[in-house]
Amino acid sequence: MLVLTDATDRSSRRRRLDRAWQRFLRDGDVSDVRPEIARSWTRARDVYRIDPALRRAPLEVRDALPRLREQDETFELARPLLARLSASLRDAGHVLAYFDADGLMLSIGGDPATIAQVAEINLCPGARWREDVAGTNGSGTALADRRATEVFASEHFVEAWQPWTSAAAPVLAPGGELVALVQITGPWDTREPQGLVAAAALAAAVEERLRARQEVRDELVRHAMRSARSSGEAVVAVDVRGRVLQASDAARRRLSFEDGELPRAVRERLALALRGGEDPLDEELSLEWPGAGDERRRVACATVLHERRAVGAVLHLAPPPAARGTRGGARQRLTARYGFEAILGHSELLRAALDLAEIAARNDLPVVLHGESGTGKELFAQGIHAGGARAGAPFVALNCGAIPAALVESELFGYEPGTFTGAQREGKAGKFEEADGGTLFLDEVTELPPPAQTALLRVLQEAEVVRLGGSAPRRVDVRVIAATNRRLYDQVEAGRFRQDLYFRLNVLHVDIPPLRARSEDVPLLARAFLREAEERMGRDGLELSDAAKALLLAHPWPGNVRELKNVIMRAAAVVSGARIGPADLRLAPVRGIAAPARVDAAPPPVERPPEPPAPEGEGPERDELVAALDACRWNIARTATSLGVSRQTLYRRLRKFGITR
């Protein structure tokens, strides 16, 4: 009975669509078809002028097919998945086809009898099935709309395609570029093997393989970047498309980037060379950077290879002679770009963190920011700097986990000429000297090796640095803001972080909540990121559907605000219309992460130092305690929270130093 009902429903739908198709050809009436089919029919008739009596799709390629398959990296990744699904379709009367990004079929598999039948309309390797040459069809319409699409029987614009039903889904690369399509096709009057679901699942599986491969390639380029940075030059690592993966601070200061990327002309030239285009990649490329006038800078370009393919490059830019040995000109550009106004949200947990950060901005005490990756620790650090008396002075950021252990001290404290092989001949100022008069932001501070921790403690105590290979101390006036995604006292108890350095750094402590603990801020952030995406991509009128908003609220956001921004940017890039639905977000379920916390969830535990009383002379000094009390208006509970200690510990230290109001 079920099969009979299905067949009856399909026959009824086919008759209704036959009449709708004839009305459209006669008078342009699209009232009885789906909107996406109506739009496609209109394009086929009015824009592409497709003949509905066409008998075959254009067969464009024959002898070059093996070469095209070999050059299509996505096809190589998808081949095992295509083989498995094709085998399961052999007895179902359906076929599975793979198309490149331009609608050219590269392979077909499945039921042999069906393969022979569809070959009569050139649904075969070498044929082109874009809408502009074949009208409304599964792969062509999915390519035009950039979304999974099913075209049933008479929904095809060309009559010769109407005996078939096709479901196609696009395959998107990690950057959002459409790189392939997969399509399941079968007779319209046979029971469907859930073609649209299967095609979308196959596309998602191929995309996951693309993401995994891209992560490996990007890490290879970053590794090459880390190896090259020891020279102290301006260094930029890019992938095969010319997208910036990493750039040294010197490169960021001296080159004009466009929204964090290489200038368009530079990127296109480099991508063409890396992909083996008309200009082979030389050892050195002359790249003209905007803002440099007629100057052409010589950039040494080292290609990074993986499995005999170029996967990226590391660009080395030697320091210009005029900049050697100078500090003043470069320091003027080392300023904070954001204030507290850039931190969006109204949740109770975020407002509590911002209140503490604003207190920190009104004084000059060291600060520790604690939060998961992607919560915005650097935004808080820049806000504290921009809101204080040092706002016009340098703001220098250093990721302690991104620097090889052997180079951390040279990055922090600088080195004298001739200190080690590969060093700059004139020596180099460290981050403390660059930040003189301003703020030094140490991200991932728990990654500092023990020798660097010892040297950092001395700088904090004496307010002076000694360059590696030198003996003369240099006075510095620097406020230190440290950040970590680990609890510092856990690292102290584990013996990985000095206790005395802990007390020096952890004078004011700010806990930044994860996004899942302030889910009420998700809609506000999503709207802000959507407006930013419109501006960057030149689009207008984008909006989130109610279902998409609900999905955003339900997601646990393991990558926090950074992940939310990337999801919105990707959705804005791939959505075909103005309304973003759940499928456009492409959110995968996350295992092992709790659901978003309630609005009234308890705040995260406050950082606690080891409880045994510190020996005489260790811990915050008397004036630091008084300064913390003044900043909190002598509120004991708030002062204890800002210092990251219990009230009992705070009372004990007040008695120790004889502090009374």
Query: Using CB atoms within 10 A of its CB, is residue 578 exposed (0-12), middle (13-18) or buried (19+)?
Result: exposed
pLDDT of residue 279: 42
- 134 within 8 A of 25, measured Cβ to Cβ: no
**pLDDT greater than 70 at residue 476:** yes
pLDDT of residue 241: 77
Query: pLDDT digits over 357-408, tens only?
Result: 999 998 888 999 999 999 999 999 999 998 888 887 899 999 888 887 777 8
Give the model's confidence band at 42: pLDDT under 50 very low, under 70 low, under 90 confident, else very high: very high
pLDDT of residue 2: 34
Six-digit token pair at 107? 């392979």
Length of the chain, in residues: 661
pTM: 0.44
414-415 and 244-247: which strand pairing? Answer: unpaired
**Full DSSP string of 109-151:** EE-HHHHHHHGGGT-STTBB--HHHH-S-HHHHHHHHTS-EEE
Query: pLDDT digits over 175-223, tens only?
Result: 889 999 999 999 998 866 688 999 999 999 999 999 888 887 777 666 6
CA dist list (Å): 611 to 2, 105, 520, 607, 617: 71, 69, 36, 12, 16
pLDDT of residue 304: 73
The rounded distance, in Å, linking the Cα atoms of 151 and 145 is 13
| 3-state class percentages of the chain: helix first, strand second, coil last, to nearest 5 | 45, 15, 35
The rounded distance, in Å, linking the Cα atoms of 509 and 368 is 5
Strand partners, 511: 370
Pick from 156, 50, 66, 63: which is nearest to 107 by CA? 66
CA dist list (Å): 545 to 63, 180, 359: 47, 27, 39
